[in-house]
Each structure stands twice: as C-alpha cells, then as structure tokens.
Amino acid sequence: MKIFVLDKYRFACILLALFSVALLLVASLSPTAKEDRLLPVYSVDTDEKVLSITFDCAWTAEDIPLILSTLSRYNCRATFFVVGSWAEKYPECVKLIYESGHEVAGHSYNHAHYNSLSEEELVSDMDKCDDVIKAITGENIPIFRAPYGEYNNTVVKAATSSGRTLIQWDADSLDWKDLTGDEMIKRIMPKIKNGSIILFHNGTKHTASALPSILDRLVSEGYSFKSVGDMIYYDNYEIDHEGRQKAVNR
C-alpha cells in the first residue's frame, strides 16, 4: 500500500513537470510571446565632436525668423520636426526653414498619441504629414519623430516598414516648461556627448532668445553641428539598450 501511494505521488510530479515544460514551449512558440523592446535613435556613436539641434514645431510660428537668424550666425544646420497641420497653417515658415538650409521632417499630422494607433493608422498619419511637407519643400526626408516622444514596438515597426528612421533625443531642454537659458544649459550640458540629439521647441517663452547663449556654450565646448539626417546611419547599424546608434562592419 505504501509503494502504491509513493508511485502515485511520483507519477503526479512527473505529469506536473511535463505539463510545465509543455506550457513553456507553447509560450515560446506563440506569436503573442513578449517581444524584445524596439528603440528609436536617441543618439549616434561617432568619433566626431558633433551633435544635432532639433526643434519640434506644433504651436505658433512667430519666433521662427529669430531662430533661423541665430542658427545662421553659428553655422548650425538644424532639423525641424514639423506637425503636418502646423505646416499647412504656416507654409511660408516651412519654406523659409527649408530655404535657409535646414532639414524639415515629419512629426505626425495633428500630434496624436501614437501608442493608441495601429500600424496601418500610424503609416497613414506619417504619410499624410510627409505629403504636406513635400508639397512645400519638394523633399521627403526619411526620418520621423513621434508626438510627445511616445512610442512602442508598433510605432517603431510602422516607421521602419515605411522606410523611415524614428528619432528620439538624449538631451531634453524642457523649454516648453518656460525654463530660462541658464536653466536649459544646466540641463543639457551634463547629458551631451559626441552624436547627441538635443530637443527644443519653437513657440516657447524663452527658446528663441536663449538660443545664442546655448549655442555659445556648445561651441565653447568644441562642438559643431549636423542635421539629424546627416549624422545618423541608414544601413549597417545596430541600436543598443540606450538607443545609441552604432555602425556595424564599417
């Protein structure tokens, strides 16, 4: 009787173990198994002491001429990520940005929350935004920035599948919080390195007036400037866990 109870117990343990193994196998083969997290480009690994100045444009446009004048004085070619509806409202500003030698790229059509959209909806929105920009500049730049810096795997896949590189940043000025120039410098400087991407916005309280002191500081540290499109890699690269884009086999 004791032997029967012991065998039954062992048999139950074996069944439980086999069942657990089967569950693990099913989970690993399931299409709904957890994916690795996909990342946009936060910065670029480079030996050059260069970085990218970027502006997100979604609000007003009154400060664009002053921003462009300052960028010209510092020989700074920047990247402007513009919302499509903003570009429709201020086409002359978009044209002025482009004709001043800067890069104009997409930032959604109406600044929607991208994490709530399907891949098909995302591509449609990206296309709609880029179509507006292309109608003004004649160019279609294959980089894109999601509204609010919001992304998930679906957003990254939508950008990649449509031939775009999704761009984030590794130094945030927080200018939209009405920080002063000195406060922005204190935020930016500890974070920057070769290949950094710095986030600004137009239409804020202090950005346009603070830009000369910020660029002064960056130049004094030995940095020069490239647009995002000129700085990133388009092939033979990998992105590490911090979003730093690194060349492979170059």
Verify that 91 and 181 share a domain, yes or no. Answer: yes
What's the pTM value of the predicted model, to 2 decimals? Answer: 0.86
Among 134, 156, 157, CA closest to 145: 156
> What pLDDT shows up at residue 3?
47
Q: Encoding tokens for residue 22?
A: 């089967």
Verify that 239 and 155 share a domain, yes or no. Answer: yes
Distance between CA 103 and CA 81 in Å, rounded? 8
Verify that 94 and 56 share a domain, yes or no. Answer: yes
Verify that 15 and 126 share a domain, yes or no. Answer: no
Q: Which residues pair with 225 in a beta bridge?
A: 51
Verify that 119 and 204 share a domain, yes or no. Answer: yes
Among 143, 146, 144, CA closest to 113: 146
DSSP character string of 169-185: -SEE--GGGT--HHHHH
Per residue in 193-203, is it b (16+ CB within 10 Å) or e — as a string?
A: eebbbbbbbbb
Place of tokens 């991208």: 114
Cβ atoms of residues 204 and 230 within 8 Å: no
Verify that 164 and 181 share a domain, yes or no. Answer: yes
Q: Is 109 exposed, middle or buried (0-12, 13-18, 19+ CB in 10 A)?
A: buried
Domain of 151 in residue numbering reads as 43-247
Distance between CA 200 and CA 174 in Å, rounded? 7
Verify that 106 and 8 share a domain, yes or no. Answer: no
Verify that 112 and 205 share a domain, yes or no. Answer: yes
Q: Encoding tokens for residue 236?
A: 């033979």
Number of structural domains (the chain) is: 2
Verify that 119 and 188 share a domain, yes or no. Answer: yes
Verify that 73 and 27 share a domain, yes or no. Answer: no
Q: Residue 194: which CATH number?
A: 3.20.20.370
SS3 128: helix
How confident is the prediction along the chain (250 residues), in pLDDT tens digits per residue? 444 454 554 544 454 455 554 544 444 444 444 679 999 999 999 999 999 999 999 999 999 999 999 999 999 999 999 999 999 999 999 999 999 999 999 999 999 999 999 999 999 999 999 999 999 999 999 999 999 999 999 999 999 999 999 999 999 999 999 999 999 999 999 999 999 999 999 999 999 999 999 999 999 999 999 999 999 999 999 999 999 999 998 6
Distance between CA 53 and CA 214 in Å, rounded? 11
Verify that 27 and 142 share a domain, yes or no. Answer: no
Verify that 81 and 167 share a domain, yes or no. Answer: yes
Place of tokens 């569950």: 23
